[in-house]
């Protein structure tokens, strides 16, 4: 069961992000998922102030520069629907809320998806916050993982 939820099962789509600034680097995890015959996708901005798009990625994908000069799969890469989505955390709370770069893309994306993917936030334990003062549009994550292990579990197992 847990393997299905965390992108270990072939046939699932595992989406991640391309690391920027001090975010945890997921490239090795992405390559491992690909090698295990799991479809890997990267989140990218195709339209400003709209939900993100999930485009298929492989270790051989020739990346192009996207929004804010972040490397992304090219426009001809297949669009997929994510089963398991990984989100970067600049900050997080024990209730599963995340603090990001403040553009609202990730929450806008989760609100638009049906069914909603299982969402895992990846960050550092020192980034835990007392609160982010969640707004009605903020959507809590299902799980938070840091270098110290699982920090937040919302009916996962």
108 to each of 111, 119, 130, how far by Cα in Å? 5, 14, 23
Number of domains in the chain: 1
* Full domain range(s) for residue 117: 2-153
Q: From the CB of residue 116, how many other CB atoms can be counted at a distance below 10 Å?
A: 14
pLDDT for 3: 47
Q: Which of the two residues, 152 and 157, has the higher pLDDT score?
A: 152
CATH at 25 = 3.40.50.10420
pTM (2 d.p.): 0.87
pLDDT for 2: 43
pLDDT for 56: 98
């Amino acid at each position: 069961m847990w393997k299905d939820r965390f992108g270990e099962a072939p046939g699932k789509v595992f989406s991640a992000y391309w690391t920027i600034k001090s975010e945890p680097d997921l490239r090795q995890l992405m390559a491992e998922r690909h090698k295990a015959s799991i479809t890997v996708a990267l989140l990218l901005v195709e339209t400003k102030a709209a939900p993100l798009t999930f485009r298929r990625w492989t270790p051989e994908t020739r990346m192009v520069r996207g929004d804010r000069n972040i490397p992304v799969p090219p426009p001809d890469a297949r669009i997929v629907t994510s089963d398991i989505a990984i989100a970067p955390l600049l900050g997080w709370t024990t209730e599963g809320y995340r603090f990001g770069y403040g553009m609202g893309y990730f929450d806008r994306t989760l609100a638009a998806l049906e069914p909603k993917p299982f969402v895992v936030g990846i960050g550092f334990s020192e980034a835990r916050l007392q609160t982010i003062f969640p707004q009605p549009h903020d959507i809590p994550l299902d799980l938070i993982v840091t270098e110290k292990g699982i920090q937040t579990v919302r009916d996962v197992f």
